[in-house]
């Protein structure tokens, strides 16, 4: 079965700092990859997704992620964070072997104004 | 377009009782998935339904069950509640299934078992 690891559980940044959140998965076949975000008091929502094609995908609010197949990674990046980016971020993977979307443990990001 | 609606928002039950949670997907979405979210375990997949059929089931005991109706609405049932079942239960819908279309989540039902 596939698994997803997010190595940073808590990240604290100042506004305008650059962000990179790590995500690694374990599965040797074809995968679809997602980043979801949960703002305080709100429901989970899709930030960006990768199905195929250009491995560098752009999402909402200036976020982007790069799929590196050789490293089994799908790291999330943002050049300059804002206080409003304070949230919990979840990486998720679904494989061509099943229909089960597997989530990582999440990373809590706090951006200090 | 209305989002995914889950009812009730909060529930308090005692050990041994059973509970039914409801989920109305986005109009036109045929797939409904259920997740359990806890601080210790994160988001864990419970099951997915598509066109009234369970397509996938996570690693949960048989006390957790679900069903989907012809209008795509879904219910989740937990019998013989245990303290460890206290969690936020999230429902998510997608057009044709999580493998091809992103999930849209509801706000969840917060279940507390005392």
Cα–Cα distance for residue pair A1/A93, rounded to 1 Å? 11
The reply to whether A17 touches chain B by the CB within 8 Å rule is: no
pLDDT band for position A98 (cuts 50, 70, 90): low
Phi, psi of B68, rounded to the nearest 5 degrees: -130, 140
Phi, psi of B90, rounded to the nearest 5 degrees: -110, 140
Note the pLDDT tens digit of each residue in B51-92.
999 988 999 999 999 999 999 999 999 999 999 999 999 999
Percent of chain A exceeding pLDDT 90 equals 78
Residue-by-residue DSSP string for chain B? ----EEE-SEEEE-TT--EEEEEEPPTT--EEEEEEEETTTEEEEEEEEETTEEEEE-S--TTEEEEE-TTS-EEEEE-S--GGG-EEEEEEEESS-TTTS--EE---EEEEE-
Asked whether the beta carbons of residue B98 and residue A106 sit closer than 8 angstroms, the reply is no
Query: Which of A1, A101, A102 has the most B C-beta neighbours within 10 Å, making it the best mutation to test the interface with B?
Result: A101
Model confidence at A12: pLDDT above 90: yes
Residues in A touching B108 (Cβ below 8 Å)? 43
Cα–Cα distance for residue pair A73/B72, rounded to 1 Å? 34
Note the pLDDT tens digit of each residue in B30-60.
999 999 999 888 899 999 999 999 988 999 9
With contact defined as beta carbons under 8 Å apart, do B83 and B15 qualify?
yes
Distance of residue B96 Cα from the nearest chain A Cα, in angstroms: 11
Task: Return mean pLDDT, chain B.
Answer: 94
């Amino acid at each position: 079965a596939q698994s997803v690891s997010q190595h940073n559980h808590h990240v604290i940044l100042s506004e305008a700092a650059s962000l990179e959140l790590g995500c690694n998965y374990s599965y040797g076949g074809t995968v679809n990859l997602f980043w979801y975000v949960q703002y305080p008091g709100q429901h989970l929502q899709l930030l960006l997704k990768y199905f195929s094609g250009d491995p560098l995908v752009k999402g909402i609010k200036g976020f982007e992620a790069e799929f590196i197949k050789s490293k089994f990674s799908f790291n999330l990046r943002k050049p300059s964070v804002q206080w409003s980016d304070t949230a919990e971020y979840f990486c998720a993977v679904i494989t061509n072997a099943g229909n089960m979307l597997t989530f990582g443990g999440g990373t809590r990001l706090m951006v200090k104004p | 377009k209305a989002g995914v609606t889950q009812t009730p928002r909060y529930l308090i039950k005692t050990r041994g009782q059973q509970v039914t949670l409801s989920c109305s997907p986005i109009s036109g979405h045929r797939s409904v998935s259920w997740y359990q979210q806890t601080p210790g375990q994160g988001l864990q997949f419970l099951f997915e339904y598509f066109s009234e059929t369970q397509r996938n089931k996570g690693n949960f005991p048989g006390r957790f069950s679900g069903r989907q109706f012809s209008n795509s609405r879904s219910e989740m049932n937990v019998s013989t509640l245990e303290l460890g079942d206290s969690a936020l239960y999230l429902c998510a819908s997608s057009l044709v299934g999580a493998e091809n279309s992103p999930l849209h989540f509801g706000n969840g039902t917060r279940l507390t078992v005392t």
